[in-house]
Chain A
Amino acid sequence: MIYIQYILVIFLVICAISVCVTKNLLVSLIIFTAYSLVMSVIWLFIESPDLAITEAAVGAGITSILFFITLVKVDKMDEGEAKDD
């Protein structure tokens, strides 16, 4: 069981670094959502289900919705894709 936690923590660190490094904002946001989801699983592993529920609802749900809306508002949704092509 402890190895799953190691894998999750390593994945968490990779996510956290790639959020900053990614140029495309949309991709960066999706990685951020994955980060929150993994974080909530880790909360479950260290026996705090309260925090796990809150992290999943706030971190993966509400925060990403607000970020997505902000991206749409500032018209950055397509910019990153254009750069990649």
Chain B
Amino acid sequence: MISLIDTLKSFVDGAPVKKEDDTKLTIKKVSKHHETSFTERVTSMIEKGESKTARSAYTVVAVIMAVIIIACLIYTVSFLPHFGGADNPANSSEVVKAYIENGIHDTGATNFVAGMILNYRAFDTLGESSVLFIAATTVIILLFRHKTKEEEKIATVEEEVYEDKHDVILRHGALILVPVTLMFGVYVLFNGHLSPGGGFSGGTILGAALILYNLAFGDKSTQKFFNYNINKVVKISALTFYALSQSYMFFTGANRLPIPDINGVAGSLISSGFILPLNIGVGFEVACTMFGFYSLFDREEI
């Protein structure tokens, strides 16, 4: 058993395999081949050009596979109904018909896509938000690293020394762009049920604005209003709020709150029941996740 592990080790790490004679007078190397490690052997093989045939064969096979898959996909596309045709299967389905005819009355959303994904199919969106949450958690588990005190000291000294390391043009550009981007993100987020947009896109725009601010003004000024704890609290409360209101909708069988009946009117911000708060919840979740991704990728903390 041990000898097997040793052999494997020598194969990978390149430790020479030795075998002692019965007399223990001479140490004999059995296999010269394993003196160099596995990676070294592969590198030398590549350098010598021994693997050239294998490489070209790989390329050829990859291209052939890609062409076959593309051909299959294009063949399938030829069976799809014409875009926007009147007799498409989507138009003859009973469910789709009911959704399209009663959608605005039921959900109150002028933007029917929002009504679909946050009312009829709201559980799918809950799943998507949970996937984002899980992804962010995994990235935190993999990349988050508490800095030691020495590293923190070095970071603060560097911050003081290279205070103007952030580009002047970037700073002045960000000064103009960040408020506009934030405003646009909030607009897209709040008008998700009235105009194109919604939680995911609005949240991503908010996250992009945060990232631009961080790039231009550094970590310290970002930490003043957005740190790990705030990120954690906002994300968990947004997801919990979504899940709770969604279960309320689901279990009471109601798809609207007792609110004034101004549903389906363009420009009425407070309408269409739960869709606006759900959009806001999703938006905060997405914004925190995006900024968290960026921050963890960049400096391994939030």
Chain A positions within 8 Å of B, measured between CB atoms, are 46, 48-50, 52-54, 57-58, 61-62, 65-66, 69-70, 73
In the complex, per-residue mask of B178-219: 1 if CB is within 8 Å of any chain A CB, else 0? 000000000010000000111011001101100100000000
Q: Which residue of B lies closest to A62 (CB)?
A: B290
B251 on interface, CB distance cutoff 8 Å: no
B83 in contact with A62 (CB, 8 Å): no
Chain B contact residues, majority secondary structure? helix
B297 in contact with A50 (CB, 8 Å): no
Query: Given the known A-B contacts A61-B204, A61-B208, are A50 and B197 also in contact in the complex, defined by CB atoms under 8 Å?
Result: yes
B294 in contact with A69 (CB, 8 Å): yes
Chain B positions within 8 Å of A, measured between CB atoms, are 83, 111, 113-114, 188, 196-198, 200-201, 204-205, 207-208, 211, 290, 293-294, 297-298
Across chains A and B, which 8 residue pairs bring their CB atoms closest together, nearest first?
A: A49-B196, A57-B204, A53-B201, A54-B201, A69-B297, A61-B208, A50-B196, A50-B113
Query: Given the known A-B contacts A69-B294, A70-B297, are A62 and B200 also in contact in the complex, defined by CB atoms under 8 Å?
Result: no
Write 23 A-B pairs (CB below 8 A) sorted by A numbering. A48-B113, A50-B111, A50-B113, A50-B196, A50-B197, A52-B196, A53-B188, A53-B196, A53-B197, A53-B201, A54-B200, A54-B201, A57-B205, A58-B201, A58-B204, A61-B204, A62-B204, A62-B211, A62-B290, A62-B293, A62-B294, A65-B208, A66-B297
Chain A hits for B111, CB < 8 A: 50
| Nearest CB in chain B: distance from A31 CB, A | 18
Extra contacts besides A62-B211, A69-B298 (10): CB < 8 Å = A46-B83, A49-B196, A50-B114, A53-B188, A53-B201, A58-B201, A62-B208, A62-B294, A66-B293, A66-B294
Q: How far is the CA of A64 from the CA of B143 in the complex (A)?
A: 19
Tell me how many residue pairs across A and B have CB atoms closer than 8 Å: 46
Q: B201, B204, B205: which contacts A50 (Cβ < 8 A)?
A: B201
| Nearest CB in chain B: distance from A54 CB, A | 4
Q: Which residue of B lies closest to A59 (CB)?
A: B204
Chain A contact residues, majority secondary structure? helix
Q: How far is the CA of A53 from the CA of B201 in the complex (A)?
A: 6
Chain A hits for B188, CB < 8 A: 53
| Nearest CB in chain A: distance from B279 CB, A | 12
Q: Which residue of A lies closest to B291 (CB)?
A: A62
Q: How far is the CA of A61 from the CA of B208 in the complex (A)?
A: 7
Q: Which residue of B lies closest to A56 (CB)?
A: B201
Q: Which residue of B lies closest to A60 (CB)?
A: B208
Chain B hits for A61, CB < 8 A: 204-205, 208
| Nearest CB in chain B: distance from A22 CB, A | 15
Chain A hits for B290, CB < 8 A: 62
Q: How far is the CA of A60 from the CA of B3 in the complex (A)?
A: 54
Q: How far is the CA of A29 from the CA of B109 in the complex (A)?
A: 38
Q: Which residue of A lies closest to B62 (CB)?
A: A20
Q: Which residue of B lies closest to A20 (CB)?
A: B66
Chain B hits for A52, CB < 8 A: 196
Chain B hits for A46, CB < 8 A: 83
